[in-house]
Each structure stands twice: as structure tokens, then as C-alpha cells.
Amino acid sequence: MKVSCWYNNKDIRIEEIATPAPGPKEMLVKVMSCGICGSDVVEWYRLPRAPLVQGHEIGGQVVSVGTDVKKYHPGDRVFIAPKVPCGKCSYCLNGHHPQCTEIKERLPGGFAEYILVPEILVERGTYLLPEKITCDQSTFIEPLACVVRAQRLARVKKGQSVLIIGCGMAGLLHVKLARAKGCKVIAADINKTKLEFASRLGADSAIDATNNFSERLVAENGQKADVVFLCAAADSAVEQAWKCIDKGGMIVLFAVPAPDKKVVVPINDFWMKEITILTSYYCGPPDITEAMNLLESGRITVDDLVTHRLRLTDIAKGFQLVSEGRESIKVIIKPHE
């Protein structure tokens, strides 16, 4: 079978490996669709494990199952979580599923024709796709679940003004979800195309973030934002987030700068204004279930976010599109097309 082996963003090789056969508690899944996540192109995050087969936003179909697998059958369409928490440690019991220290197995990379799903993911990380969710839509389940968790932690509610800084795929999912909750949504980005997307998807205002835009935010919104979701990793974006939050508000760091970057927090000012800074990384099983419910019910639609569908052999072009971020929102790899 063919796999895409990632060495760095400019060195991605299509390689041939043997198609694995499932053991008694494993299953082989045909990858129908796999999205390129923004984190896939962040080299400081991925290089320590290179070379590797990336891809964790999956829509697939079961090909064969081990003798002990009874829950799934050949032909079933499935979404598979990248990893599953134990559900028993102190982190899991306190709702910090992404911080679970008992995680041993991860989903093999989905930029491949097939993946061998390990036992723990067969048992607790595989979800049957409802008829209303296509394999392409399935590639949004994990990123939407991350957005669901971030907005839940931030206690986003109807009537709040929500500012999303950075209108890539994740930022636009934040726009859609906040809009569905009845919030006043303001989107900010330096890319005019992405701002146009945000407007079409329901943002009440779309602000050019090229320069200091806190004054324009107040002019259009009547006040600073109750909640700011930082979905861009640029230093300037972080600085703008500090300036755009209202008293008693909350800033959610959904994206962060590279580890070698130093972030200065105006802590004295925030202390006086009672500003909360929150981080949100990944998602947990309840968030995946909620994301699937949102997609199945149609409360959140995602087909309008797909800008490119590419063959596995064209994955280098996909990584370039996502890295540059000018012409793409969601890039989906179709290994069997």
C-alpha cells in the first residue's frame, strides 16, 4: 500500500509498504478521506518524531476485522479518534482528557491507503458514522470537537460578543459554533479571502487585522469582546488579543507561538480588569460525541469549508497550500482517488 512519509514540509515522499493484516483485536480500515490539519504543517511540533506518516482527521471504511472484534464489520463507515484517554486517572476524572498520562497507543497516520487500528482504538476510539455524515465531513469531527471543548471551557453563551483572531479552518469553525449559540461574532484576519469566508459563514463583522484593530472592534461592536479566541500563532496576534478583551472577559489560547517565543502578559492590567487567560488543547470523548451530533443534526455545516480535494500523490501540494494559508481553508486527501 502507499503511504505519505513526512520528513519536513518540503520533503514528503510517497512510499510503498506492506498492507498490514489485523490481529485478533485489531481491524484494517480503508482511508477514504483525511484532512490536513494546521498542526500537521507546524514543523517545531512534528519534527521531533520525523520521519512519520501524518494524518489524524479520518473518514474510513472497515475492510477486515480480527477474530475477537464483534462490534464492527467490513463495510462499516467509521471515524477513529487519534488517541483515547483512560477515563480513570485524576486528569480524566477532572475533565482534562487531553492530559491523560496513560495513553500508550495512537492512530497510525491517515495519509495512507489503509490503517491498522490498534486494540484500544477499536474498543474505545472508533465511532460508526451516521448516514448523514459523509467521509469528507468526518474529517471535521476531531477539529470541531476541539472547538467544542474550547467554547465549553470558556462558557460561551448566547448574547456574548466573541472575537476570533485567525480565520483558518479552526477559526471558521469557531465562527460557526459561536454563531449557532447566538453570540455576536467578530472575525479578524490579515487575509481578505478568509475574512470574506467568515462573513459568508455568519460573522457579524470581519475586521482586517493588519494593524492595531482594537479601536475598530469597539467602533463596530460597541465594546471590546467578552471572549477572544486566539486561533493564530503570530506574535502580533497575541498582542492584539490582549488589547481586544473587555473587563471580566476571557482569552482562550487555541493556538500558540513556537516554544522559543516569549509572550509578555500585561498581568497588572489584567489583574485590575479581572481578565481570565485559558488554554485549550485537543479534545475528549464527550466533545467528539457533541461534534458528531452537531454535524448529524445540521446545526454545524462544513461542506462550505472544503476548498481542495487532492490525491495522495499530490499531498505535497496540499501541505504547501496549508502552509501558505492564502488560497485554502480545508484540504482533504483522498488516498483512493
Which pLDDT does position 212 carry in this prediction?
82
Which pLDDT does position 162 carry in this prediction?
98
Distances (CA, A) of 239 to 111, 212, 255: 35, 9, 13
- Residue 176, pLDDT above cutoff 90: yes
Which pLDDT does position 127 carry in this prediction?
98
Which pLDDT does position 225 carry in this prediction?
98
Q: How do residues 101-159 score in pLDDT, each as one tens digit?
A: 998 889 999 999 999 999 999 999 999 999 999 999 999 999 999 999 999 999 999 99
| Cis, peptide link before residue 51, omega less than 30° from 0 | yes
Banded model confidence at residue 211, pLDDT cuts 50, 70, 90: confident
Which pLDDT does position 146 carry in this prediction?
98
- Residue 220, pLDDT above cutoff 90: no
- Residue 278, pLDDT above cutoff 90: yes
| pLDDT, mean over the chain | 96
Q: How do residues 280-320 score in pLDDT, each as one tens digit?
A: 999 999 999 999 999 999 999 999 999 999 999 999 999 99
Q: How do residues 61-104 score in pLDDT, each as one tens digit?
A: 999 999 999 999 999 999 999 999 999 999 999 999 999 999 88
210 or 55: which leads in pLDDT: 55
Alpha-carbon dihedral angle through residues 67, 71, 75, 77, given to the nearest 10 degrees: -140
**Distance (Å, whole) CA 127 – CA 111:** 19
Which pLDDT does position 104 carry in this prediction?
84
Tell me how crowded residue 315 is: count the other CB atoms within 10 A of its CB: 23
Which pLDDT does position 62 carry in this prediction?
98
Which pLDDT does position 87 carry in this prediction?
94
Give the global pTM.
0.96
Environment class of residue 251 by beta-carbon count within 10 Å: exposed (0-12), middle (13-18) or buried (19+)?
A: buried
Q: Where are the domains of the chain?
A: 2-144+283-334, 155-279
Return the C-alpha cell found at 306: 472544503
Question: What is the second-level CATH architecture of the domain 155-279?
Answer: 3-Layer(aba) Sandwich (3.40)
Which pLDDT does position 76 carry in this prediction?
98
- What CATH number was assigned to the domain covering residues 2-144+283-334? 3.90.180.10
- Residue 177, pLDDT above cutoff 90: yes
